[in-house]
Amino acid sequence: MIRNLLSGADLSRDQAVEILDIAEGMSDVNDREIKKLPTLRGKTVVNLFFEDSTRTRISFELAAKRLSADVINFSAKGSSVSKGESLKDTAQTLEAMGADAVVIRHSASGAANVLAHSGWINGAIVNAGDGTHEHPTQALLDAFTMRKRFHGSASTGKDLSGLRVAIVGDVLHSRVARSNLLLLNTLGAEVHFVAPPTLLPANPSNWQAKIHYSLDDVLDNEKPDVVMMLRVQAERMNASYFPSEREYSRIWGFNSDRLKRLKPNSIVMHPGPMNRGLEIDAISADSPQSTVLEQVANGVSVRMAVLYSLLSGERANDVN
Ligand code: NCD
């Protein structure tokens, strides 16, 4: 298995399917009355969060606790980082305390890679979101959710071959879109990016995705199995990328009219937090075709599978 999880491209098809299969077993544990395994007893997992988070931080904490690891939650607010301590000094402090895994979220793209390749920490590094770059465990939990919805109880060993996935909205600022694209490519799905031209990366032809500017055209002509709505990342926007919120939701937002045009078994995903009324309306977000809460629940199982793969047994020698 791999040594760190930094990118949606770190996993081969077989490695990704293996993690999804392990997550399947973990979700059985999460359905039991006593939701706990002794697997990581004696290991220490540090959640190092320099950026705000609800779902991801709680989900990693729960995942580590359900595997019986000791968990330390570190957030930059209220720590010595607010006194100006550097990432290096923080990392070396965690190393001195014997962290076996560090789950890092940071506003700087590349922060997780720096930590993994710096030599400051020997433990496994898991990227829980670095700036606008990557968020690989979100991609894994999204893939797990798709696999469960489309293959049901016969999921084990399967990938996402043939699935048509439309990723819609603020692709430019979205680490979720980037990691999903890479993992979905590996798992055999067909990816479509749908966004205003201002919210697509500079050279979209470099991406293994079909590019569209109209959500209505994609719904009518591509008939996607999955529509993944992205949050408009207002906090990362230093300019005006679309005329107005009303205009954005009219052209690129998901709403009840568009929901009616989906195939009956197609699903609507959103990583959360949602801007209800902007990229998705309440009827779609709360409809039976929405997987928003399933994604949250699956996040715990998938993160248990990731921590288990990285921390149980011998650590692999292949550095990535
Ligand atoms: C995403 C993130 O933080 O990148 N959220 C999450 O992890 N659940 C998506 C977002 O904030 O838009």
Task: Quote the CA–CA distance of 15 and 159 in Å, as a whole number.
Answer: 11
Q: How far is CA 281 from the centre of its chain?
A: 22
Residue 310 exposed, middle or buried by CB count within 10 Å (0-12, 13-18, 19+): buried
Q: What CA dihedral angle connects 24, 26, 32 and 37, to 10 degrees? A: 160
Q: What is the pLDDT of residue 316?
A: 45
Is the pLDDT assigned to residue 131 strictly greater than 60? yes
Q: Tell me the average pLDDT across 244-266.
A: 96
Q: Tell me the average pLDDT across 184-206.
A: 93
Q: What is the pLDDT of residue 82?
A: 67
| 271 CA from centroid of ligand 1 (Å) | 6
Which of 105, 231, 236 most suits a substitution to test ligand 1, by most atoms within 8 Å of the C-beta? 231
Give the nearest ligand 1 atom to 233 CA.
12
Is the pLDDT assigned to residue 274 strictly greater than 80? yes
Task: Quote the CA–CA distance of 239 and 259 in Å, as a whole number.
Answer: 31
Of 17-26, 71-80, 189-198, minimum mean pLDDT range? 71-80
Of 63-72, 92-101, 298-307, minimum mean pLDDT range? 92-101
Q: What is the pLDDT of residue 2?
A: 87
Is the pLDDT assigned to residue 269 strictly greater than 50? yes
| 170 CA from centroid of ligand 1 (Å) | 12
Residue 189 exposed, middle or buried by CB count within 10 Å (0-12, 13-18, 19+): buried
Q: What is the pLDDT of residue 317?
A: 45
Q: What is the pLDDT of residue 201?
A: 87
- Per DSSP, 65 falls in state H
Residue type, 257: D
Q: In the chain, pLDDT over 90 holds for what percent of residues? A: 83
Q: Are 282 and 252 in contact (CB under 8 A)?
A: no
- Between the alpha carbon of residue 5 and those of residues 134, 144, 163, 189, the distances in Å are 10, 16, 24, 21
Q: What is the pLDDT of residue 193?
A: 97
Is the pLDDT assigned to residue 97 strictly greater than 50? yes
Q: What is the pLDDT of residue 315?
A: 52
Residue type, 264: P
| 264 CA from centroid of ligand 1 (Å) | 27
Residue whose CA lies nearest to ligand 1 atom number 12: 231
Ligand 1 neighbours, Cβ below 6 Å, are 55-56, 129, 135, 138, 175-176, 231, 233, 271-272
Residues recorded for the chain: 320
Which has more pLDDT, 81 or 148?
148
Task: Quote the CA–CA distance of 118 and 85 in Å, as a whole number.
Answer: 17
Q: How confident is the model at residue 314 (pLDDT cuts 50, 70, 90)?
A: low
Q: What is the pLDDT of residue 70?
A: 97
Which has more pLDDT, 257 or 93?
257
Q: Are 270 and 292 in contact (CB under 8 A)?
A: yes
Reported as a single tens digit per residue, the pLDDT across 202-250 is 887 889 999 999 999 999 999 999 999 999 998 888 778 888 899 999 9
